[in-house]
């Protein structure tokens, strides 16, 4: 009798769960992946609310008008002339690099001879950036 009652309970439970169950179907939320198109505005507004990127109004390609190009060209030529004058004052007309320490504004140049050749250490004292250039010797 116990076996019959247990069998009836199991069959009854199985039938009840089978009658209330349904097939699970995945539906994407995003309309780009097949979701409901009515979700588009909600998703767009949610993304815009989370976006912390702010675009600047500068031209991303760096296009300049004629006046800006002329001004930049003039500045470059002026800075080139100043650096050429400073270089001539420090190293002479022949441009030969002599060992020593030289300062140009915030740049500090140290030139010295080693077995590898002529070494030029360049230090930007404003931010600590440093570069080393080695010119091989002609021994």
The answer to whether 132 and 120 have CB atoms below 8 angstroms apart is yes
pLDDT tens figures, 113-125? 998 888 889 899 9
Instruction: Please name the residue that has the structure tokens 């439970």.
Output: 13
- Looking at residue 130, its pLDDT comes to 92
- Mean model confidence pLDDT for the chain: 80
The pair phi, psi for residue 130, each rounded to 5°, is: -140, 140
Question: Is the predicted pLDDT of residue 106 greater than 60, yes or no?
Answer: yes
Instruction: Please name the residue that has the structure tokens 């009836």.
Output: 8
Q: What is the pTM of this model?
A: 0.39
- Looking at residue 95, its pLDDT comes to 65
Domain boundaries, the chain: 101-138
The answer to whether 112 and 127 have CB atoms below 8 angstroms apart is no
- Looking at residue 23, its pLDDT comes to 80
Q: How far apart are alpha carbons 87 and 105 in whole angstroms?
A: 13
């Amino acid at each position: 009798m116990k076996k019959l009652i247990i069998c009836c309970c199991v069959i009854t439970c199985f039938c009840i769960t089978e009658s209330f169950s349904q097939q699970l179907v995945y539906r994407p939320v995003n309309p780009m992946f097949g979701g409901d198109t009515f979700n588009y505005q909600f998703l767009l507004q949610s993304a815009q609310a989370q976006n912390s990127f702010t675009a600047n109004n500068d031209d991303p390609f760096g296009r300049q008008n004629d006046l800006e190009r002329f001004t930049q060209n003039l500045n470059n030529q002026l800075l080139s002339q100043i650096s050429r004058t400073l270089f001539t004052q420090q190293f002479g007309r022949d441009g030969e690099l002599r060992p020593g320490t030289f300062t140009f504004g915030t740049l500090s140049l140290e030139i010295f001879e080693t077995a590898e050749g002529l070494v030029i250490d360049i230090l930007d004292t404003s931010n600590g950036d440093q570069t080393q250039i080695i010119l091989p010797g002609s021994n």
